[in-house]
A and B are shown apart, each in its own frame.
Chain A
Amino acid sequence: MSFSSSKLAVLSAAALLFAASSHGALAQKKYDPGVTDTEIKIGNVEAYSGPASAYGVIGKTEEAYFRMINEQGGINGRKINFISYDDAYSPPKTVEQVRKLIESDEVFLVFNALGTPTQTAVQKYHNVKKVPQLFVATGASKWNDPKEFPWTMGFQPSYRVEARIFAKYILKEKPNAKVAVFYANDDFGKDYLAGLKDVFGGNSSKLIVAEESYETSEPSIDAHIVKLKDTGADVFVNISTPKFAAQAIKKMAELQWKPMHLMTDVSISIGAVMKPAGLDASEGVLSAGYLKDASDSQWDGDEGMKKFKAFLDKYMPGANIADTNLVYGYTAAQTMVQVLKMSGNDLTRANVMKQAASIKDFAADALLPGIKINTSATDFAPIEQLQMMRFTRGKWELFGEIISAETGG
């Protein structure tokens, strides 16, 4: 008995000593590779070339944002060294570039790297190496899995969440709807379709009268719209990327087909979709969003938007504000800086993950009013709120409450 209690005493003394020393170390700064007293190295891979090169703007915006932070003195005196490589949206290249970032550049973490197929290719590697794969830039629902992948975290609301919100709205407004679903034949489109069916459940086959997919290689999708109109559907769910969304809106107006039109938030830029498609033709389109649209004049007086535009003027002059990727990159970079600030001088990879998983009600500049970033040890999906909106007289008019939706895996 006495033996074990003395052992206990030694143990607790040791624990106390350890706690004291680690506390001391905290005050004295604690670094993992990629961090020094003057610098934090952040890696990134982006599709600067190839089929998804339109997203390259995200990386450029983040680079500009970090440049602004550095000019303002950095984070706790440390400048951000943002190393961003091109993976051309090709998974084998992603593996090569991420390996280079981690092994040779020795970055502290990889931030907001783009693409579902590309980032899936390096997810295991990140988790084995225990290098944060933070705020992955894709709308897939699989990044929210802290148990299996504690070093990976998503960022935006998943497609599936949005689809569920749409499905609930359809059931509420038109319980006997005849739904035509038009979707991109890839992960993005299929995730969405799955989300609709999650909510429709057993009634799916009754409610959905047509499922029509398209390939991104098709020059024009007009023929699909002709076919869908012919089904007599009165609800049209449009799950397409900006170019095809604009084509669909235009063709529907030409055909004078006016069903309830729900469109994914991937394609809601006023400047890049609604205007090219025609503002009259776009009237009445419904969607759900989480970011402010810089080309929407209703945000002209908004504080956050003013800050965003001032940033653009100074650091990315000439950028096309119709491009939603700018607002997206800005928001992601702002959240990254927030997490680094929260981490203080304990710049270990473990602590950064811990801080990223304890964001509370962070209202980034460009998020819609009321939408906040929240994470926890079991919730690795930072943005999970959306608000329904209707395109009215050239603007997105928000309506209804802010809807939170858990993906439930």
Chain B
Amino acid sequence: MELLLNQVLAGIATGAIYACMALAVVMIYQAIDHLNFAQGEMAMFSTFIAWQLLQWGVPYWGAFVITLALSFAGGIVIERALFKPLGNAPVLTHVAGFIALFAIINSVAGLTWDFTIKQFPSPFGSSPFLGSQLISTHQAGMIGVTLVLLLLLYFFFQFTRIGLAMRAAAAQPESARLVGINTSWMIALGWGMAAAIGSIAGMLIAPVVFLEPNMMGGVLIYGFAAAVLGGLSSPFGAVVGGFLVGIFENLAGTYIPGVGNELKLPIALALIVTVLVVKPTGLFGRAIVKRV
């Protein structure tokens, strides 16, 4: 019983990592209708920027805000410079672009900051949370930040003009243009926001997994799994999906004989495939009906 509780708690703690990343994945999916394979690397790069600022003596929250702003701008620049020209190119061209971006960012980070792991501070400390050794204050803080982020996104998309405009641009580009929404800039904005959310995810994940150029590799796959499980169109679903994947992965690894540890990653991938086959919209996603 204790082991079960421990594994569930540990699962929630890792689930928070996936949830954070899944939020960024959903964000970009909302804006461009694709998954961005370079999302994790962008988050990693942002985290390195924050680390560099901290090394230069900038206080934590100062570095946090500057990184957020730089990442937002960086996301927009990438869209304007790389993906706008691709415009109406087929999906495969975009995928190739994402993969190229992935490799470039990864190598540049390695070249600049080398591959040794770096410690990244947590604003929440790492003492036991409420007496539980299984969840540290950092992990609790991470869950808190994820939920706040989720709330902010909800309000943004439901109640702000620009949020509504972004949704319109993604769902009905043509109608949106007709009512005077600049859809092209909405996409750029989506990139910027995804990059900014990714940078928060990176800064929260780094204290747990340590900062290095390859830190997001595994995280992104689980983030995808979480986003698909929760529904690619639902930020709420992404967060729930993140926690579920974290718990599911731990319990399967502990209790299903034969699955063990060697099949932990395949579990995430199997989950993606299963959800796509059984319920393509995920748990909370909305079915998209296209008139032909």
Contacts and interface: CB of A to CB of B under 8 A. Distances in A.
A219 interface: yes
A269 interface: yes
Contacts of B208: 220, 222, 247
B110 A185 contact: no
A223 B253 contact: yes
Contact of B115 (A54, A215, A227, A276): A54
Contacts of A53: 107, 110, 115, 213
Nearest to A241: B117
A226 interface: yes
B115 A226 contact: no
A342 to B, nearest CB: 34
B210 A243 contact: yes
A230 B6 CA distance: 9
A275 B119 CA distance: 8
A218 B11 CA distance: 13
A218 B264 contact: yes
Nearest to B136: A254
Interface residues of B, number: 45
A208 interface: no
B126 A254 contact: yes
Interface stretch (B147-155, B215-223, B230-238): B215-223
Interface in A200-250: 212-215, 217-220, 222-224, 226-227, 230, 242-243, 246-247, 250
A242 B117 contact: yes
A323 interface: yes
A215 B223 CA distance: 17
Interface in B247-292: 249-250, 253-254, 260-262, 264-265
B205 interface: yes
A276 B119 contact: yes
Contact of A226 (B6, B118, B217): B6
A222 B10 contact: yes
A28 interface: no
Contact of B209 (A220, A224, A320): A220
Nearest to B246: A223
List the 5 closest pairs (A to B, CB-CB), nearest first.
A54-B115, A276-B119, A272-B116, A219-B218, A219-B219
6 contacts: A218-B265, A220-B14, A223-B250, A226-B134, A230-B2, A323-B114
